[in-house]
Chains A and B, each alone.
Chain A
Amino acid sequence: MQKRWWVFLAAAFLGLAFARGDTLVIAQGVDATTLDPVNHQETPTGNVTANIFDNFYRRLPDGSYEPWLGEAKALDDLTWELSIKPGIKFHNGEELTAEVLKFNFDRLLDPKKPLKYSTYFKPIKKVEVTGKYTLKVYTEKPFPLFLTRLTYLWVVPKAYIEEKGADYFANHPVGTGPYKFVRWVKDQEIVLEANPDYWAGKPKVKRVVFRPIPEASSRVVELLTGGVDIITNLSPEAVPTVEGSGVAEVRSVPSIRNIFIILDVKGEGPLHDPKVRLALNYAVDKEAIVKHVLGGFGVPVGCPLNPYMFGYDEELCKPFPYDPEKAKKLLAEAGYPNGFTFSMSAPSGRYLNDRQVAEAVVGQLKQVGVKVDLRIKEWSSYVKQILNRKLDTDAWMIGWGNAQFDADNTLFTLLYGGTVEGGPPQTKFSYWKDPEFDKYVLEAQQTVDQEKRKELYKKALERVRQGAPWIFLHQQKDIYGVAKRVKWQPRPDELLWAFDMELVK
């Protein structure tokens, strides 16, 4: 007996070669909260469900979208027609029909049991099945964002949920996607297996395992020792270690998140003067910040948007050049030849080296005579101050990840000043009032014609460029550690879609 025990122990110790083979292991910081693809708001959860389910429209790596499970077209300003690709089946054999898609909409629109994604579909009034694979969607008012919102429509099976219940479904998901659910051991692993009958082709990676590893350095060591293949949120400090390891490498992609400083322009102080705000933009050396503070993991940008977003304009979004002389001149013209002092809030640990970025800005502004009283804030109290408009500083640094990939969610939400009569009031993030800008963004919200909408955003961006309501900084990059055997490029929407991946020798 005792002898056998020792043999077992020895075998356990010697069984070191942890064979991954055909299995691709992905380590994220946290476990999924649910496997219902439309009832969460966390990227790590969405990364798992994106492999099990399909969305009606699919996001492409450049930020645009394309039809995926089917197509939608506008019949008029208030009606859309959806047609589903025939023959798509869920993992349990159930077919995707118009009835099933209607069930999906009804589930999201049920006022009694709202899901986390319900808010994306609010303007929809009614859904009507018109054929086996076609249906009509009626909206209350023009809904130009409908197509981009269809990328949030991760399609779930009707019969399965009706039979097993929503709770069971959330733990044992069945979708139409490239991977089938195998098991979920909470806080340990979620195992998925390739769906050989996937309608869009056979996945190349046979098995995908998601493992939650909360500690960043443990994730790095797992990657270096071959325990996992992909790790998310690699810190810039760990980049040389991974690069030098020989087994893994660093891959990054500009993200949808911009970092900037919102200026409180409503008072009568220096920040009220557009010349001063322009001066601040010329006084900050974005290139230097990206290079020295972010280790190159950023892209300077001169407007609230970035190239992935609908409404972006290359000319109007060029970074303000670093020109301290011009900044000084503008300050003198505005009547502040000796500079002035203002206060600024910034978070710590929320965005890539956020505190250091804020400190660099403070240092650069000092060069042109502007003194900044910097206050670093703990995230939860900072959020509270922002949401209640109770900030105690003249400026505040924040990041904005626009997951809609559309100018509306940034320009309206962050800058709309409420000057339009009969229109909505100023948003809680906006400290700027520009009647012309307000007119353009409101009009864009009612415009289904995408070309016209683009024109309107261009005009709005011109106003932003002249008014400089913020100090524009950079677009942040997402950094991943990836084993060399994995053929894959990270995506701007942070999705870890294994259908995109391949294991090479």
Chain B
Amino acid sequence: MIAFLVRRLLLVGVVAWGAATLAFFLLYLSGDPVDLLLPLDASPEARAELRRAYGFDDPLYVQYGRYLWKLAHGDFGVSLRSQEPALPLVLGRMPATLQLAGAGLLFALLLGIPAGVLAALKKGSFLELLVMVLALLGQSIPVYFLGLVLIMVFGLKLHWLPISGYGTLRHLILPTVTVGTFVTASIARLTRNGVLQELRSDYVRTARAKGLHERVVVYKHALRNAAIPVVTIVGLQLGALLSGAVITETIFAWPGMGRFVLLAVEQGDFPVVQASVIVFALMLSLVNLAVDLAYLWLDPRVRYA
């Protein structure tokens, strides 16, 4: 178990290095940001000066080496836009993103799992059809469109909820629904399929034959086994939640990482983009690790060595 953890944590390190390298070369391909940073009529001297100041005039391998060396010492560079250290800028926006992703996930679990179980139990009914159609819709509707529709309906027409901003619980509602709908739909469909499959299996027949209450059969036995693929999908969906957050944060003016990164990309703020790519990569690999550990608890047959 310890060996497994150590190995996995090492792997997280490799992922971070890979992400850092990828971020570096992709940005390098997108070109020298100096042209975008200065106004069109800036003098060639001003451009050369800035290029020198940021080291963009060094050979590629020198820049890459310096970049890795600094990263290894926890130095993510300074934002070209605001001249503040990049990592704190990114981390400072993380709580808002985590809050949104967390709320989205909670929303998805609270709505998706019961809906899935219900659909499985009432197989063939109108209710099942309704859940499945809604799930299909939820999975196919683009986040961007959903956000705008919610704004139009609950903000513009009904005046029920604030449209943008951050602070109170009410500000959280529309973004949460926007970012969580896709995941809710996936969880509902997966739960339904899982529970259906489990309900057909031998141990459920045995449990029923023992005369256990149907509720116990479904929730204690079937659902626990059906939960394994759901946990996998939750882990994977965190990526979807975070990328959905980029768009959601932009629409709702949510002060998180996603919107911040988008702006940094547009403005060629390399250090900020690099810092956020690495932070995102680390977050996702840690979540994957957590998912693997969750299997242990859910399925006693799984053993890591």
Residues of A in contact with B (beta carbons under 8 Å apart)? 9, 12-13, 15-16, 18, 30, 33-34, 39, 41, 114, 119, 185-188, 211-215, 217-218, 221-222, 224-225, 227, 380-381, 383-384, 386-387, 400, 409, 413, 428-429
Contact = CB atoms under 8 A, between A and B. Distances in A.
Interface string B25-42: 000001100011011111
Interface of B: 30-31, 35-36, 38-44, 46-47, 49, 81-83, 92-93, 148, 151-152, 155-156, 159-160, 162-170, 250-253, 255-256, 259-260, 262-263, 268
Given A13-B160, A18-B162, 15 more contacts: A16-B159, A16-B160, A186-B255, A187-B256, A187-B259, A211-B164, A214-B253, A215-B250, A217-B148, A217-B151, A221-B155, A221-B156, A380-B36, A387-B35, A400-B40
Nearest to B32: A384
A215 B82 contact: no
25 contacts: A12-B168, A13-B160, A16-B159, A18-B162, A34-B83, A119-B46, A187-B253, A188-B165, A188-B255, A211-B253, A213-B253, A214-B250, A215-B250, A217-B148, A217-B151, A218-B251, A218-B253, A221-B163, A380-B31, A381-B31, A383-B36, A384-B35, A387-B40, A400-B40, A413-B41
B41 A221 contact: no
Nearest to A409: B41
B46 to A, nearest CB: 6
A212 B162 contact: no
A41 B50 CA distance: 15
Given A215-B251, A386-B40, A387-B40, A227 B163 contact: yes
B245 to A, nearest CB: 13
A383 B40 contact: yes
A218 B259 contact: no
A306 B35 CA distance: 27
Given A13-B170, A16-B159, A222-B163, A34 B82 contact: yes
Nearest to A34: B82
Contacts of B253: 187, 211-215, 218
Contacts of A413: 41
B92 A33 contact: no
B220 to A, nearest CB: 26
Nearest to B96: A187
A218 B35 contact: no
Contacts of B92: 186
B169 A227 contact: no
A392 B163 CA distance: 45
A225 B170 contact: no
A17 to B, nearest CB: 9
Contacts of A225: 155-156, 159, 163
Nearest to A122: B43
